[in-house]
Amino acid sequence: MVKKKNFLAFVLFIFLLLVPVQAFAVDFDITEVQIEAQLNEDGTADVTEQFTYEFEDGFNGITRSLIPKEGTSIEEFTASDSRRELEVEVENGLYKIYRSGNDGDTIQVELNYRIVGAVEKFEDGAEFYWPFFDASNESEYGDMTITVIPPASATETEALGYGEAFDTASITEDGTAIFDLGNVPAEENADIRAIFESELFPGVTAQDGTVRDELADDREELENEAAAFARNQQIAKSAGIPAIAILGALLIGLVLFAWLKASRRKRDVQNGPYEFFVPEDSMSIPALLHFTNPTYVAANGMSAAILDLMRKGKIRQISEDHFALADRNTDHPHEAVLIGLLFDTIGDGQEFTLEQVEIYTKNESNHEDYNAATAEWNKEVRAEVLAHDFYEKHSGLRWAVGIMSAVFIGLAIVSGIYGLLPWMAVSIALAMLALGFAIGYSPITREGHRVRYEWRSMKTAMEQLPSEQWERLTMDEKQRAYAYLLGSDQKTAERKANAFTAAEPANDVSGFAMNPILMTAVFVSASTTASSSASASGGGMAGTGGGVGGGGGGSGAF
- Cβ contacts of 24 within 8 Å, gap of 6 or more: 539, 558
Quick check: helix, strand or coil at residue 557? strand
Q: Residue 440 corresponds to which amino acid?
A: G
Residue 409, pLDDT > 80, answer yes
Q: 145 and 49, same structural domain?
A: yes
Q: Which residue has the higher pLDDT, 467 or 385?
A: 385
Number of domains in the chain: 3
Residue 19, pLDDT > 50, answer no
pLDDT, mean of residues 258-282 = 87
pLDDT, mean of residues 482-496 = 74
Which pLDDT does position 524 carry in this prediction?
A: 65
Asked whether residue 403 is domain-assigned, the answer is yes
Q: 195 and 96, same structural domain?
A: yes
Last residue of a domain, one of 195, 210, 225: 210
Cα–Cα dist 65/96, whole Å: 9
Residue 379, pLDDT > 90, answer yes
- Which residues is 53 bridged to in the sheet? 30, 107
Asked whether residue 16 is domain-assigned, the answer is no
Give pLDDT tens digits for 104-129.
889 899 999 999 999 999 999 999 99
Last residue of a domain, one of 401, 427, 442: 442
What residue numbers bound the domain in which 43 lies? 26-210
Which pLDDT does position 2 carry in this prediction?
A: 38
Asked whether residue 6 is domain-assigned, the answer is no
Which pLDDT does position 541 carry in this prediction?
A: 46
Which pLDDT does position 148 carry in this prediction?
A: 95
The pLDDT confidence band at residue 10, using thresholds 50, 70 and 90, is very low
Vertex 123, ends 119 and 124: CA angle to 5°?
Answer: 85
Q: 378 and 409, same structural domain?
A: no
Q: 467 and 367, same structural domain?
A: yes
- Which residues is 130 bridged to in the sheet? 192
Give pLDDT tens digits for 137-165.
888 998 999 999 999 999 999 999 998 89
Give pLDDT tens digits for 172-223.
999 999 999 999 988 888 899 999 999 999 999 989 999 999 999 989 888 8
Residue 517, pLDDT > 80, answer no
Q: 345 and 322, same structural domain?
A: yes
Which helix (H) or strand (E) segment holds residue 266: the answer is helix 241-270
Give pLDDT tens digits for 298-344.
777 888 899 899 999 999 988 888 999 999 999 999 999 999 999 99
Read out DSSP for 50-97? Answer: EEEEEESS-EEEEEEEEEPPTT-EEEEEEEE-SS-B-EEEEETTEEEE
Q: 298 and 152, same structural domain?
A: no
Quick check: helix, strand or coil at residue 182? strand
Last residue of a domain, one of 407, 427, 442: 442
Q: 364 and 456, same structural domain?
A: yes
Minimal CA–CA distance to 127: which of 186, 214, 64, 188?
214
Cα–Cα dist 514/224, whole Å: 86
Q: Tell me whether strands 28-39 and 141-149 are parallel, antiparallel or unpaired.
A: parallel
Q: 447 and 437, same structural domain?
A: no
Read out DSSP for 148-203? Answer: EE-SS--SS-EEEEEETTTT-EEE-TT--EEEEEEEE-SS--EEEEEEE-GGG-TT
Q: 485 and 357, same structural domain?
A: yes
Quick check: helix, strand or coil at residue 204? coil
Average pLDDT, the chain: 84
The pLDDT confidence band at residue 496, using thresholds 50, 70 and 90, is low
Quick check: helix, strand or coil at residue 160? strand
Residue 411, pLDDT > 60, answer yes
Q: 100 and 54, same structural domain?
A: yes
Which pLDDT does position 545 carry in this prediction?
A: 54
Cα–Cα dist 37/44, whole Å: 10
For residue 95, the number of C-alpha atoms closer than 13 Å in the C-beta half-sphere is 22
The pLDDT confidence band at residue 516, using thresholds 50, 70 and 90, is low
Which pLDDT does position 271 carry in this prediction?
A: 83
pTM for the model stands at 0.62
pLDDT, mean of residues 520-542 = 59
Quick check: helix, strand or coil at residue 237? helix
Q: Which residue has the higher pLDDT, 8 or 410?
A: 410
Cα–Cα dist 361/520, whole Å: 15
Asked whether residue 426 is domain-assigned, the answer is yes
Asked whether residue 539 is domain-assigned, the answer is no
Read out DSSP for 358-425? Answer: HHHHHSGGGHHHHHHHHHHHHHHHHHHHHHTT-B---HHHHHHHHHHHHHHHHHHHHHHHTT-HHHHH
Say if residue 155 is exposed, middle or buried (CB neighbours under 10 Å; 0-12, 13-18, 19+): exposed
The pLDDT confidence band at residue 495, using thresholds 50, 70 and 90, is low
**Strand arrangement of the beta sheet that strand 169-171 belongs to:** 73-80, 106-116, 45-55, 28-39, 141-149, 177-184, 169-171
Asked whether residue 216 is domain-assigned, the answer is no
Which pLDDT does position 274 carry in this prediction?
A: 83
pLDDT, mean of residues 31-37 = 93
Q: 137 and 261, same structural domain?
A: no
Q: 89 and 194, same structural domain?
A: yes
Contacts 24+ apart (CB under 8 A), 427-431: 427/244, 430/244, 430/247, 430/248, 430/251, 431/405, 431/406
Write out the E strands in 214-301: none
Which helix (H) or strand (E) segment holds residue 217: the answer is helix 212-235
Cβ atoms of 296 and 290 within 8 Å: the answer is: yes
* DSSP single-letter state for residue 206: B
Give pLDDT tens digits for 222-252.
888 888 888 888 888 888 899 999 999 999 9
Give pLDDT tens digits for 39-96.
999 999 999 999 999 888 888 888 899 888 888 999 999 999 888 998 989 888 888 9
Which pLDDT does position 519 carry in this prediction?
A: 67
Asked whether residue 470 is domain-assigned, the answer is yes
The pLDDT confidence band at residue 361, using thresholds 50, 70 and 90, is confident
Give pLDDT tens digits for 535-544.
544 444 445 5
Asked whether residue 20 is domain-assigned, the answer is no
Cα–Cα dist 524/22, whole Å: 37
